[in-house]
Amino acid sequence: MSAAAPALKTASAPATVNDTATGARLLVSSLERMGVEVVFGYPGGAIMPIYDALTGTGLKHILVRHEQGAAFAADAYARASGKVGVCMATSGPGATNLITGIANAMMDSVPMVCITGNVPQGVMGTDAFQEIDILGVTLPIVKHSILVRDASEIPAAVEQAFHIAASGRPGPVLIDLPKDVQFATAVAPFGFNLPNETIPLNHDAIAEAERFIRAAERPLIYIGGGVKIAKATEAVRAFAEATGIPAVATLNALGTIATDAPGYLGMLGMHGTRAANEAVQSSDLLIVLGARFDDRATGKLAEFAPHARVVHFDIDASEIGKLRTTHVAVAGELKPGVEALTVRMAAAPLAIDPWVIRCASAAEHHAARYDAPGEGVYAPALLKQLSEAAGDRFVAACDVGQHQMWAAQHCRFSRPEAHITSGGLGAMGFGLPAGLGAKLADPSATVVTIAGDGGFMMNIQELATLKRYGVALKIVLLDNSSLGLVRQWQELFFEENYSEVDLSDNPDFVKVAEAFGIEAFRIDRRDQVEAGLARLLAADGPCLAHVVINPKENVWPLVPPGKSNAEMMEGA
Partner 1 sequence: MTMSDTIHIQIDRADGSLQRLIGLVERRGFHIDGMSMADEGPSRRIALTVRGRDAARSIDNLGCQIDRLFGVARIGAPAYQSEAA
Q: Which of 16, 20, 185, 193 binds partner 1 (CB under 8 A)?
A: 193
35 binds partner 1 (CB under 8 A): no
Does 140 contact partner 1 by CB under 8 A? yes
Give dist(CA 476, CA 464) in Å, integer: 17
Q: Binder to partner 1 among 35, 56, 200, 470 (CB under 8 A)?
A: 200
Window of 194-202, 212-220, 391-399, 433-441 that interacts with partner 1 by CB under 8 A: 194-202
Nearer to partner 1, 195 or 443 (CB): 195
Choose the binding region for partner 1 from 7-15, 252-260, 269-277, 344-352 (rule: CB under 8 A): 7-15
Q: Which is nearer to partner 1, 204 or 364 (CB)?
A: 204
The verdict on 1 binding partner 1 (CB under 8 A) reads yes
Does position 13 interact with partner 1 (CB under 8 A)? The reply is no
Binders in 537-556 for partner 1, by CB under 8 A: none
Residue selected from 195, 262, 561, 562 as contacting partner 1 according to rule CB under 8 A: 195
Q: Is 242 in the site for partner 1 (CB under 8 A)?
A: no
At residue 375, what are phi and psi to the nearest 5 degrees?
A: -105, -10
Residue from 147, 338, 340, 523 touching partner 1 (CB under 8 A): that is: 147
> Closest Cα to residue 419, out of 538, 409, 483, 429?
409
Least distance to partner 1 from the beta carbon of 46, Å?
17
Secondary structure (DSSP) of 304-339? SSTT-EEEEEES-GGGTTSSS--SEEEES-HHHHHH
The answer to whether 302 contacts partner 1 (rule: CB under 8 A) is no
Q: Please enumerate in sequence order all residues whose Cβ is within 8 A of that of 389, keeping only pairs 6 or more positions apart, or say none.
A: 533, 534, 537
Could you tell me the strand order of the sheet in which 144-147 lies? 60-63, 38-41, 85-89, 112-118, 172-178, 144-147
Q: Which of 20, 198, 494, 527 binds partner 1 (CB under 8 A)?
A: 198
Contact 97, 159 (CB under 8 A): no
Sites for partner 1 among residues 79-138 (CB under 8 A): 135-136
Least Cβ distance, residue 197 to partner 1 (angstroms): 5
Taking the complex as a whole, the smallest distance from the CB of residue 10 to partner 1 amounts, in Å, to 9
Tell whether residue 368 is a contact of partner 1 (CB under 8 A): no
Among 59, 63, 128, 199, binds partner 1 (CB under 8 A): 199
Work out whether 4 is an interface residue with partner 1 (CB under 8 A).
Answer: yes
Q: Please, which residue, 138 or 488, has the CB nearer to partner 1?
A: 138
Contacts of 314-322 spanning 24+ positions with Cβ under 8 A = 314/226, 314/288, 314/290, 315/1, 315/168, 315/169, 315/199, 315/226, 315/230, 315/290, 316/1, 316/168, 316/169, 316/226, 316/292, 317/1, 317/199, 319/292, 322/292, 322/293
Least distance between partner 1 and beta carbon 26 (Å):
19
Please state, in angstroms and rounded to a whole number, the distance separating the CA atoms of residues 274 and 557: 7
CA distances (Å), origin 466, targets 47, 72, 114, 519: 24, 14, 22, 11
Q: Is 2 in the site for partner 1 (CB under 8 A)?
A: yes
Q: Is 194 in the site for partner 1 (CB under 8 A)?
A: yes
Alpha carbon distance 470, 473 (integer Å): 9
Q: Which of 33, 65, 144, 522 binds partner 1 (CB under 8 A)?
A: 144
Other CB atoms within a 10 A radius of the CB of residue 11 amount to 9
Bridge-based pairing state of the strands 16-22 and 185-190? antiparallel
Residue numbers 169-188 binding partner 1 by CB under 8 A:
169
Burial classification of residue 232, based on how many CB atoms lie within 10 Å of its CB (0-12 exposed, 13-18 middle, 19 or more buried)? buried
Name which position in 16, 20, 185, 196 contacts partner 1 (CB under 8 A): 196
Sheet holding 446-452, edge to edge: 419-420, 394-398, 446-452, 474-479, 543-548, 519-523
Per CB under 8 A, does 438 bind partner 1? Answer: no
Query: Per-residue string for binding with partner 1, 312-331, x by CB under 8 A?
Result: ----xxx-xxx---------
Instruction: Give the interface segment with partner 1, choosing from 143-151, 349-357, 449-457, 500-508 (CB under 8 A).
Output: 143-151
Closest CB to partner 1 among residues 15, 531:
15
Backbone angles phi, psi at 303, to 5 degrees: -115, 15
188 contacts 154 by C-beta, under 8 angstroms: yes
Query: Which of 75/333 has CB closer to partner 1?
Result: 333
Residues of this chain that interact with partner 1 (CB under 8 A) are 1-7, 9, 11-12, 135-136, 139-140, 143-147, 149, 163-164, 169, 193-200, 316-318, 320-322
